[in-house]
Structure 1
């Protein structure tokens, strides 16, 4: 039996008599297979066992097509390799954000793509009933240890492990740009109660501060990540409400190094290039007149929030 014959037999068995039930089963299996294919590609790329040209051929597409389809997904999957640095180096969020990100009447909140729980902790401390969903095992371990009062679950924006209409609000911090929005938007709408809200949040370094601009130039010299922090969210969501909060995150020299090391575009650099970048960041911390000799460093941030209602 050929692979093609086997695939057709499996598809026929899964689809059964067809109809909506068959379509649902096929869709579930396709999603699992795609997750597995992405994991295999991740293993091949991490170990430098295959080029994008070879991966493209194996998937029946061009090198450019394979790169476009999976390079972003692999960067999104990279955070587990630096979960400790992420927890130590990434900033939290200003307390003033909660009142804008979550409506006063909300009680049960989903923190989607929760990472190591940087926002989850604020939500729990505000007295909310919080479910935190995170796909990466290592990040989820950090999350569960940091915020034990949250209900922590594995899952993704494309496959949320919650019933229909079960939360009053969904918050997404530093993660919306990783989602497959064509799948994630209806899935988020599914788990929200009628009239529920979705809030999209980013911390952005304020590079009007000269030393922060120098740090940003170092971080982006090999790869620059451009993120739309004022996105348009499609139907069934309504018009956006937007908020900006300027604040400072007080950290340390090691905290800044961990922050840099936790960026996806740094995690995925070749080892020699990553080592050189971190050494250059250390040099900046040692020599810049606003940083040298300081035990504490105030990193300026702008937190941006877009809130939409179902």
Structure 2
């Protein structure tokens, strides 16, 4: 799947809600990225920046930052939050990197929207020799096994076709494609307690929810709201954030 126009339409309508309820990323990702890179990068490009959840981290580096965001509604909000960042309204596939490449290519929660057959080699070609690929994203789970089981059963009853990707799947994706050297993975975890309104708003921003019919969406919200009431009005998420870093070798190292 790629960052096509249907993806733009999918998330653009939720831009304000997305910014309000989606959790941010651990700020220490910035320091780990610079340490892995070896020095201060001279250029950073972010794929699918959205409203800037990942940009919050990348801006901490202090290097010139370019954000690729094809949805005009999300890009407008991004520009308001980061007026000094250069924003390109291109998909990663459309964007032409500068001659010689960039030092850091980053992607937060958007790697799965890129074409699986081309995203790794395209990322490799975008980077300078020795440049850094940084992919990070959340996986939403539940601290209470009973809550996890009840929520998954309710959603499966509404749409049995929904499937979860394996945890840290993008780490395996980078390793399997063999385009990058010194690939490493770091995992951060924290608990996130949400009341019913906040939890249902978060669900409203998820791709699997947005791609379902209005009837299925309403059934899901009704079922989940009923469950949260039964849980005592609160859901506690086990928020797992994975950071994957890889180094681009010289051109002869690319496969």
Provide Cα deviations, 1:6-44, integer angstroms capped at 9, x if missing partner. xxxxxxxxxxxxxxxxxxxxxxxxxxxx99xx75xxxxx
Provide Cα deviations, 1:44-69, integer angstroms capped at 9, x if missing partner. xxxxxxxxxxxxxxxxxxxxxxxxxx
Query: 1:259 aligned to 2:191?
Result: no
Query: Which ranges of structure 2 fall in alignment gaps of 5 or more residues?
Result: 249-255
Query: Which ranges of structure 1 fall in alignment gaps of 5 or more residues?
Result: 1-33, 40-73
Query: 1:91 aligned to 2:23?
Result: yes
Deviates more, 1:161-170 or 1:215-224: 215-224
Q: Please, which of 233, 239, 246 is the counterpart of residue 301 of structure 1? A: 239
Inter-CA distance 75–212: structure 2 relative to 1 (3 Å threshold): farther
User: Which structure has more RCO (C-alpha within 8 Å, separation ≥ 6)?
Assistant: 2
Q: Please give the TM-score of this superposition, normalised by the length of structure 1.
A: 0.67
Query: How far 1:192 sits from its partner (Å)?
Result: 1.5
- Rounded to whole Å, the distance in 2 between the matches of 1:225 and 1:151 is 36
Q: What is aligned with 1:203?
A: 138
- Rounded to whole Å, the distance in 1 between the matches of 2:93 and 2:67 is 15
Q: Which has the higher strand share?
A: 2
Q: Please give the TM-score of this superposition, normalised by the length of structure 2.
A: 0.80
Deviates more, 1:152-161 or 1:183-192: 183-192
Asked whether the 8 Å contact 2:48–2:67 carries over to 1, the reply is: yes
Asked whether the 8 Å contact 1:160–1:187 carries over to 2, the reply is: no
Q: Please, which of 117, 120, 126 is the counterpart of residue 55 of structure 2? A: 120
Inter-CA distance 84–205: structure 2 relative to 1 (3 Å threshold): same
- Rounded to whole Å, the distance in 1 between the matches of 2:52 and 2:124 is 23
Query: 1:177 aligned to 2:112?
Result: yes
Q: Tell which structure's C-alpha radius of gyration is larger.
A: 1
Asked whether the 8 Å contact 1:195–1:309 carries over to 2, the reply is: yes
- Note the 1:280-299 alignment, pairs <5 A: 280-289=223-232, 292=233, 299=237
- Rounded to whole Å, the distance in 2 between the matches of 1:97 and 1:150 is 19
- Rounded to whole Å, the distance in 2 between the matches of 1:104 and 1:214 is 46
- 3-state SS of the aligned residue for 1:181? coil
- Rounded to whole Å, the distance in 2 between the matches of 1:262 and 1:237 is 32
Q: Please, which of 194, 212, 232 is the counterpart of residue 173 of structure 2? A: 232
- Note the 1:11-50 alignment, pairs <5 A: none
Asked whether the 8 Å contact 2:144–2:236 carries over to 1, the reply is: no
Q: Which has the higher helix share?
A: 1
Asked whether the 8 Å contact 2:8–2:71 carries over to 1, the reply is: no
Deviates more, 1:238-247 or 1:126-135: 126-135
Deviates more, 1:195-204 or 1:146-155: 146-155
Inter-CA distance 129–249: structure 2 relative to 1 (3 Å threshold): farther
